[in-house]
Structure formats: C-alpha cells, structure tokens
Amino acid sequence: MSGSPFNPEGPNPDPAGPDQHPEETGPAPTYTGRVRVTSPLASAPRHVRRTVRQEIDESTGVGEVYMRSLIRSQLRAALTVVITLLLSLGVLPIVLLTVDSVATYRIWGVPLPWLLLGVVTYPCLVVLGWLYVRQAERAERDFAELVEAVGDEDPQDPA
Amino acid sequence: MNTTYGIVAISLVAVATIGIGAFALRFSRTTSDFYVASRSVKPWLNSSAIGGEYLSAASFLGVAGLVLASGANMLWYPIGWTTGYLLLLVFVAAPLRRSGAYTVPDFAEVRLQSDAVRKVATVLVVAVGWLYLMPQFQGAGLTVRTVTGAPGWVGSVVVAGIVVVNVVLGGMRSITFVQAFQYWVKLTALLVPLFFLLQAWNDDGRPSPVAPSDWVDPFTTTDGPGLYLTYSVIAATFLGTMGLPHVVVRFYTNPDGHTARRTTLIVLVLLGLFYLLPTVYGVLGRVYAGDLVEAGRSDAVVLELPSRIIEGSMGEVLAALLTAGAFAAFLSTSSGLTMALAGVVGQELTGLDRGRLRQRRLSSISALRIAAAASVLVPLGLALSAERIAVASSVTFAFALAASTFCPLLVLGIWWRRLTAPGAIAGLVGGGLAAGLGPVLTIVAHPDGWFGTVMSQPALWSVPLGFGLMIAVSLMTRDAIPLNVARTMVRLHTPERLDVDRRDRASESLASPGDLP
C-alpha cells in the first residue's frame, strides 16, 4: 500500500502532484471552458503488447524461457518414470539374488518371483504409463493456457 | 499333430491376410496413404496394429519355450519388451510424432541438418531390420515343417511372398488393418486353448511342474555372469524398443502427439494382457511336456501342448488354432518390418525431401514397391542359407543394436540441444560396431569365461558407449550445433493446438519487433 494515493504519508506522489492534498486545496475553482480530462497514464509511453506466441516464434529470450520450462517439466516427468523403474525393476535381480527369503517366499504354493515377474509387473507398468500421460498432458495444457491467455486477454492487464 | 487341420489353419490366416489387405487397398490412393496411412489412424486401431506387429514369433513361441527350458529368469524378456514401450512413451512418442519426419533417418536429418547422419542411420535401419527379419523367416519355415512335414524353405518363401504382396498392393494403410486383425488372432489363439488346457489340468488333479529346483527358484543360484546377462537383457530390451524401425514408423501414422501418447498407453495394456499367457504355457509344459527340453525343441511347446493334454479331435483343433496364431505372428512382424525398410529405402531411392510426402507421386509408390521386394530378398536368402541361430538370440542382437545406436540418437536429439551431427555419427558408428561385433565374435570364435559372456550380450556396455560417444563428440564440436535448433525444439515439444511457427528454418519474413504498433 505504500505507493497508494490514499496514503498521505506514502513516498510516491499521487498523480495530482506532491503538494496538492485534497484537504488543503480549498474550494474547487470554476472553469468556463472545456477541459481535456485524461488519465496520467495516457501520456506514458505506450505498452507494446507482445504475445508469448510471438516471443516463441521469434526465438526471443522470453520465448526461450517459456520453451525451456516446458521441455524441463516434460523431461522431469520422464525421468521420474525412469527413476521409479530403476528403483523397482532395476534392483529386483539383485534383491532376488541376495535376499533368499524373498526369492523362495510362496503364495498359494507359487514362488513370489514368478508372481512378481509373470503377473504383477504388467499392471504396474500400465499404471506408471497412465500417470505419466496424465502429467505430460497437464504440463502441455498449462503451457497452452499460458501462451494463449497472455496473447488474447484484454489489454488492461499489464502482465 | 494332424496335418490337415494345420494346413487349413495356415491357409485361413494367409487368405484372411491377403483379403483384408485387398479390402483396405480400396482406400489407399495417395503416396501419404502408402507411407503413413495419411496420418489418420485412431488410437485403438493403431495400438492393435502395433501390438500385432510387435508380437513376433519370439513372443508367441519363444517366451513359453524359454520359460519351459530355463524358468522364471526368462520372464525378463517379456518384461523388457513391454517396458521398452513405457520408455518409448516417456521419451519419444509425442515429440517423434510432432517432428513430422517419417523415419529415424528423416528425424536425424530434420534435427541435425546433416545428410551424412541420414546416410549412417539408413544403413543401421537396414541392418536392424534384416537381423530381425531373418529369424522370422526361419521360424516360419520351422513351423510349417513341424505342422505339415514340408521342407523348411516352403514356410519361409510363403511368408515372404505374402508379405511382399501385401506391402506392394496396399502400403501402410493396408498393413494397418492386417496388423490390427493379427493382434486379436494371436491373443485369441493363445487364450482360448488355455481355458481348455487349464480345465484339463484341473481335472487331472492339478499336478505340479516336474522340474529341478533351480528351475523353480533360479534366483538363489544365479552367479555373477548370470546377473550380468540379466542386466544386459534389461538394457537391450528396455532401450532397444524405441529404435526398432517397424515400431518407430508406426508413430507417424498417429494424427498428432496427443494420440501418439494415447496409442502407446493402450499398447502397454495390450502387451501386458498378452504376456500373461506364454508363462502359463511354459509352466504347463513342465507338467506335461518336460521331454521337449532334453530333445532341444522347447520352442515347440505352445504348438504341442494341446494334443498332449487333450485327447481326440478337440486337441487337434486347438493345436490348429495355435498354429494359426504362430503363423499370424510371422506374417505381421515381417510385414511391419518390410514396410518400414521399404519406406526408408524407398525414400532414399526417390530422394523425397524430408518426409514431405507429395500427393499422387506415383514414382515414389513404385519406389516403395521395388524397395519392399528388395528388403525381403536379402534376409530370405540369409534365412535359407545360414546356419540356424536361435530365434530369441537373433532378435536380441537386433534389440541390442537398436539400443546402442537409435536410442541415444532419439533421446539426445529430442531432449538435448547441444547434440551435433559429428557427435551423432560417432555414437551411431561406435555403438553400432560394439553391438554388432560382439555377437559376430561369439558366433565365429566362441570365446569362454567372462569375456565370452560380455561379448555374447553386449548391450550393458555398448549402450553407454553409444551415449558417451555422442555426448563427448558433441561437446567437442560445439560450433556444429545446428542453427535452427530452437525452432526444432518448438516443433518437437509444443502441443499441436498452439498456432506457433513450426517451419524448419527461422523465417525472416516475420515482422520484427520494431514493426509492431
């Protein structure tokens, strides 16, 4: 709130100027002629509106930042899957080799390794793939919304 | 086994294959139809086609045979073949589709702007394809001989002939329908007899598998070389799938990156469903057909189980159904491979410009047809003349080769901006030589001990070698980074619904910032 014109002690001058506080200016003067009333922003340099799409198309620094963030989030999703695989299937041969109780454990007479490798792995792979697709498409949707929102919003938003 | 039923089953699959191909031909009009089915194949149809194409003889007959012979350790093969699709999904599927290229050589050229990389990649595609085709033809010969008693070359020639006819007549659109049909043939052919077999096993009092203890609990006795082999199989199959030519080419038939992901996810479901079944055949084989192991014919367990367990003509009919499934496996995998090879070679012949397929260019369709015939003849000749190598090991060589070459090219090309053409060539050649020489040395010289083990399954060291060479040489040749890499990255990674500039070269015609209001 420090820059607000409603704060008399604020460091920033309000548009009317630092010395003209409403309480101190006395009765409003009467004018006879027409007066041009403009916002002080109108005389400011015009804000050039550039869409993210243009930034990407022209490979500007901003466009590159957007692209890199998209690629990084997709790569992160992919690497999450890889790390999950390494920590599950990847260590399984060593676990089966070193921990005899896992290798010889039986469920209804079937050795656990047979169940893990022959049955359980497949639904797990499907679930992992499904989670990845959900994540990757969410990242793409967010990116698309970001790109389209900044390009097509009404020009009052200075973001 | 009853010869008549077997011949009828094989003929039915052959006729249905040609029939569906001819039916689909009515829709194949343009060059784009021939090469990529006009990029309009829906996820369900496409994933059935991928499943049909991917499940080769090694899956249909080989997995059950391996489980019968060596037990649970062999389950890493089907797991690897399925997980390969998961890694393809997370690293390659959508960006590869969005690259707009048609084959791996196309992708290499689009990404690296280098004709030399394209040439090297083309040679490797043909090498991987031939390594994969040869065992399919040999397996077909073996199956036909088992079922009908005809000489071995009959099956090989019949399969090669049907494949060429299909590719030549209908191209990719025709193949898509044929492949999708054959996935369901294969699943039905394994699933239906299994119900009867399990019923018979149940009525029999549920006998346990007759096997030595290291078959039941193989992991307690695994030694160092065994562990190396397991991890090498994991490396080859997990990473090799994304580089197989017939797998990669399928992704260009998806309409966009979004459907490419959906398709891959459904493929995971279809493969997981299928691979539950061969294990049961392998275990039942230990109950009823343990003698096949000593006879060295464990690959035949799927074909022989029904007539051993179920008496009379019912067993014969089920055996015929399984024969039909096996034949569908040979046909679909070799069709897909031939189509992929023909696409790559055909494009080299006509010099099509970076996968931009011009409509109604008859000359390029003729090139595809000539290339199809040529790509079948060499592996057919090899299959007929060469000493028979086990189906599974020849297929594994193809996986190791693809994992050491195309996997680094695709993964680094899609995710790493600093990949350069010299780096890619170094990795392709180095990884390819490593993965190629190991098996050759094994077959020719039969080295013993650790050296022999390491050479027979090279993937665990040849894949890091391929990646390492590509990264190191790329870092040494930084000024060779293609100028348009930023534009290519936009093209590979932005969703299609965004209307961004995806052209190859950064265009100068765009308004510069100064021209804006």
- The Cα–Cα gap between B350 and A44 comes to 60
| Interchain CB contact of B258 with A (< 8 Å) | yes
Torsion angle of the four alpha carbons A158, B495, B101, B408, in this order, in degrees rounded to the nearest 10: 100
d(CA B218, CA B67) in angstroms, rounded, equals 11
* Local confidence pLDDT in tens for the 159 residues of chain A: 444 444 444 444 444 444 445 455 556 666 667 777 777 666 666 656 666 666 666 666 777 788 888 888 889 999 999 999 999 988 888 888 777 777 777 788 778 888 888 889 999 999 999 999 999 999 888 888 887 775 554 444 444
Measured N-to-C along each axis, helices B257-288 and B43-54 cross at an angle, to the nearest 10 degrees, of: 40
Q: Residues 6 or more apart from B502 whose CB is under 8 A from it?
A: B100, B487, B490, B491, B494
Three-state secondary structure call for residue A106: strand
Cβ within 8 Å, pair B495-A114: no
Most confident of B175-184, B278-287, B407-416: B407-416
Task: Assign B193 to helix, strand or coil.
Answer: helix
Structure tokens at A19: 């010395």
A132 vs B90: CB contact, 8 Å cut-off? yes
Beta partners for residue A110, in sequence order? A107
Residue A13, min C-alpha distance to chain B (Å): 30
Query: How many Å apart are CA B428 and CA B414, to the nearest integer?
Result: 16
Determine the distance from the C-alpha atom of residue B21 to the mean position of all C-alpha atoms in its chain, rounded to a whole number.
20
**Which residues from chain A sit within 8 angstroms of residue B94, using beta carbons?**
136
Torsion sign over Cα B8, B13, B16, B18: negative
| pLDDT tens per residue, range B217-265 | 666 555 667 788 888 889 999 999 888 888 877 777 788 888 888 989 9
Contact B273, B186 (CB under 8 A): no
pLDDT of A7: 46
Per-residue confidence at B7, pLDDT binned at 50, 70, 90? confident
Q: How does pLDDT run across B142-192, given as a tens digit for each residue?
A: 778 777 777 878 888 888 888 888 777 766 667 778 788 888 888 988 898
Instruction: Find the farthest-apart pair of alpha carbons in chain A and give their distance in angstroms, rounded.
Output: 103
Contacts of B495 in chain A (CB under 8 A): 140-141, 143-144
Give the number of other Cβ atoms within 10 Å of residue A48's Cβ. 9
- The pTM (predicted TM-score) of the whole model is 0.81
Number of H helices, E strands in chain B: 23, 0
What is this model's ipTM?
A: 0.85
B221 touches chain A (CB under 8 A): no
Q: What is the mean pLDDT of residues B100-118?
A: 86
Chain B residues 446-475 within an 8 A CB cutoff of chain A? none
- Mean pLDDT score of chain B: 80
A145 CB contacts (<8 Å, ≥6 apart)?
none
On whether the CB atoms of residues A89 and A121 are closer than 8 A, the answer is yes
Q: Which CATH class is domain B3-390?
A: mainly alpha
For helices B362-385 and B152-203, the axis angle rounded to 10 degrees is 70
Shortest distance, CA B75 to any CA of chain A (angstroms)? 6
Rg from Cα positions in chain A:
32
The pLDDT assigned to B299 comes to 76
Highest mean pLDDT among A16-25, B199-208, B425-434: B425-434
Q: What's the rounded Cα separation, in Å, for the pair B150 and B162? A: 18
Q: Length of chain A, please?
A: 159
Delimit the domains of chain B by residue range.
Answer: 3-390
CB < 8 Å to B72, chain A: 111, 113-114, 117-118
Q: How confident is the model at residue B35 (pLDDT cuts 50, 70, 90)?
A: low
Contact criterion met (CB below 8 Å) for A159 and A62: no
CA–CA dist B387, B226 (Å, integer):
26
**Lowest-confidence segment of A138-147, B205-214, B405-414 by average pLDDT:** B205-214
Distance CA(B180)–CA(B44), nearest Å, equals 9
What sign results for the dihedral spanned by CA atoms B116, B118, B122, B125? positive
How far is the CA of B270 from the CAs of A124, B79, B86, B183, in angstroms?
Answer: 14, 13, 13, 9
Residue A107 pairs with which residues in a beta bridge?
A110
Type and span of the H or E element at A110: strand A110-111
CA distance, residue A37 to nearest chain B CA (Å) = 25
Q: Is the pLDDT of residue B493 over 60?
A: yes
